[in-house]
Chains A and B, each alone.
Chain A
């Protein structure tokens, strides 16, 4: 059973398009992180959100934490081939237990 569900699982788009990835759960999290992982490498942290309703921007990436702290979204504006990778959300249940979402594999074609 996956505690965190991500959608879509796969996304293939053209350079310049916008996209949104969703991370949903029935559980409340103390924090939620988004990571990007390249093949053969470990996940790299993109952002952490801790407050319900929080919105954070990282260049062309916009992250939102749901008001009830059960869900989050990642929006990418004008996607570029360098954005290609596996996007993972991770929920923190306490300070030392983190579970990952099912992952979204993004491919941005030039």
Chain B
């Protein structure tokens, strides 16, 4: 199994709603990531979890709250978002440390969750 699965694929929410994005992988990767991607822009790093602990937070507003319940799951809890938070949210995973079969550590991405904040 070499997939990263993200749900839901599309989400529309109001500014007062609370919702969550979910990500799951079964590749045994111990690093998981959230990226945000606006239209026609590259992905921007938001959070990194290493061994289920938050290791990198790229100064993301607190209305985004990540959670890593176990080594296979990664959630992104959303509360009081703004319309400018509308974007494609990408989850990725990778090995931790060392080098993979290709000679380097690489990211495997999910298909993304398209979020629209009204």
Q: Name A residues whose Cβ lies closer than 8 Å to a Cβ of B.
A: 30-31, 33, 35, 40-45, 48-50, 88, 90, 92, 95-103, 105
Task: List B contacts of A49 (CB < 8 A).
Answer: 104
B94 adjacent to A96 (CB under 8 Å)? yes
Picked from A33, A40, A103, A105, the residue with its CB within 8 Å of the CB of B106 is A33
B11 within 8 A of A: no
Picked from A40, A92, A99, A100, the residue with its CB within 8 Å of the CB of B105 is A92
Segment at the A interface, from B12-20, B43-51, B67-75, B76-84: B43-51
Residues of B1-60 at the interface with A, using a CB-CB cut-off of 8 Å, are 4, 6, 31, 33, 40-45, 48, 50, 55-56
Contacts A43-B43, A100-B43 given: A30-B104 contact, CB under 8 Å? yes
CA distance A97 to B58 in the complex (A): 11
Most buried by A among B31, B41, B103, B106: B106
Q: Which residue of A lies closest to B9 (CB)?
A: A40
A45 adjacent to B40 (CB under 8 Å)? no
Contacts A96-B55, A103-B42 given: A45-B96 contact, CB under 8 Å? no
Q: By the criterion of a CB under 8 Å from any partner CB, how many residues of chain B are at the interface?
A: 35
CA distance A48 to B103 in the complex (A): 8
Task: List B contacts of A90 (CB < 8 A).
Answer: 107
Residues of B80-111 at the interface with A, using a CB-CB cut-off of 8 Å, are 88, 90, 92, 94-99, 102-111
CA distance A44 to B92 in the complex (A): 11
CA distance A38 to B9 in the complex (A): 15
CA distance A79 to B13 in the complex (A): 41
B66 within 8 A of A: no
Q: Which residue of A lies closest to B102 (CB)?
A: A48
Most buried by B among A31, A95, A103: A95
CA distance A105 to B40 in the complex (A): 8
Q: Which residue of A lies closest to B40 (CB)?
A: A105
Name the distance in Å between B25's Cβ and chain A's nearest Cβ: 12
Task: List A contacts of B33 (CB < 8 A).
Answer: 98
CA distance A98 to B56 in the complex (A): 11
Task: List B contacts of A45 (CB < 8 A).
Answer: 106-108
Name the distance in Å between B82's Cβ and chain A's nearest Cβ: 23
